[in-house]
Amino acid sequence: MNPRYQKRLRKIRKSVKSMDVSALLISNIKNVSYLTGFTGSAGYLLISPNSQVLLSDSRYLAQLQDECAELDVDIRTAGSTMVDSVKRVAEDSKFNSLGFESTSLTKHEFDQLSSMTPKIDWVPTVGLVESARAIKDKIEIAAIRRSISLNQRAFEVIKHQLHPDQTERQIAHNLEHQMRSFGAQGCAFDPIVGVGDRSALPHGRPGNKKVGESPFLLIDWGAEVDRYMSDLTRVVFTGKVPAKFRKIYEIVLQAQSAAIKKIRPGVELKSVDSAARRVIESAGFGPNFGHGLGHGFGLEIHETPFISPIHEGKLFPGMVITIEPGIYLPDFGGVRIEDDILVTAEGCEVLSDLPREIEECTVDVGR
């Protein structure tokens, strides 16, 4: 097995031992992939202090042999379910207690498992693998860098192709096309494109509003490259910037800069959030910034850590996070500026380098 996955499994085995359970059932497929290298869409992983077995089905037999040749696997038949496989392997291994991912296993699956294995004590766990995933290794960071680079290339192309008759939906489709043409597996999430007042919708779905209907639009997009994600947001200006919009844009830019200056190992997540939030609140727009400041990302677009007023924890070297303050004014417009940041041993590195200043974010669309 690849030494990277061996190292990750050893770390989780230590957690299994400290929990005093016979084994741990990993049901989150992203966690299974992180620990084994398996890239299929269906699989559970049972980890005991001395072994591990991946449970899947015959669709992935060849793929498992290719990606996880040295891993013990259990392939269920067409007439059985994943729950049946867990029951069989657990009973054959004489497990008397099993930890499980309580944020991944559904209530229905848990009820099935607990009723089918009355002699096994089921112990809920939260975030064991996710905590390990929060610290990226060199290979993961390199993949994230590639994703960001490709993501930015795609944006630069579509930014300079904007024209007044182009709709939000067309921009989103063009973004995905450019990402894929540059080598991405696809979008990390459905792109968010909002023209004019629709930029005040933090997660607005692209519609038919056209670029020419407003002098500004917001684009939030990400690529998936080598299974790793990226996540960026920019406001693009296509005409004269209203004074009110310029004001909130500059406030958000100051808030982001204040937060980035705060990032270094050992800093509380809440304090990074508050560094940005204070800037926005002091300017009188506190109620218009209703979401957290940022989040980790990697195999998923939202991962530990989460940077907000309510999340506990600290920053550590190897974490890769977004910093994305925003101000949203209904029926007028919204600003969000988002960049991807690596926490280093000395402080931080801003991995994305798209321009942020208004003049640099202005394009001529031939109005």
Residue 49 to residue 15: CA distance in whole angstroms: 9
Among residues 26, 37, 12, the alpha carbon closest in space to that of 103 is found at 26
**Joined tokens for residue 233:** 């947001």
- The pLDDT profile of the chain, 367 residues, written as one tens digit per residue, is 788 999 999 999 998 888 889 999 999 999 999 999 999 999 999 999 888 999 999 899 899 989 988 889 999 888 888 899 999 999 889 999 999 999 999 999 999 999 999 999 999 999 999 999 999 999 999 999 999 999 999 999 999 999 999 999 999 999 999 999 999 999 999 999 999 999 999 999 999 999 999 999 999 999 999 999 999 999 999 999 999 999 999 999 999 999 999 999 999 999 999 999 999 999 999 999 999 999 999 999 999 999 999 999 999 999 999 999 999 999 999 999 999 999 999 999 999 999 999 999 999 998 6
Is there a cis peptide before residue 305, judged by omega within 30 degrees of 0?
A: yes
Which own/partner contact pairs does 257-262 have at CB distance under 8 Å and 24+ positions apart? 259/293, 259/294, 259/323, 259/325, 260/323, 260/339, 260/341, 260/348, 260/350
Among residues 92, 91, 54, the alpha carbon closest in space to that of 75 is found at 54
List, as one string, the DSSP characters of 250-298: HHHHHHHHHHHHH--TT-BHHHHHHHHHHHHHHTT-GGG--S-SEEE-S
Site of tokens 């450019």: 178
| DSSP element (H, E) containing 141 | helix 138-159
Q: Provide the pLDDT for residue 141.
A: 98
| DSSP element (H, E) containing 249 | helix 243-262
Please list the residues that pair with 125 across neighbouring strands: 101
Residue 256 to residue 250: CA distance in whole angstroms: 10
Q: Provide the pLDDT for residue 78.
A: 82
Residue 28: which residues within 8 A CB-CB, separation 6 or more? Answer: 101, 103, 104, 129
pTM of the entire structure? Answer: 0.95
> Residue 120 has what DSSP assignment?
S
Residue 229 to residue 299: CA distance in whole angstroms: 6
Domains of the chain: 3-131 (3.40.350.10), 138-361 (3.90.230.10)
- The end-to-end CA distance of the chain, in Å, is 58
251 touches 283 (CB < 8 A): yes
Kindly report the number of other CB atoms within 10 A of residue 348's CB atom.
Answer: 21
DSSP 3-state of 50: coil
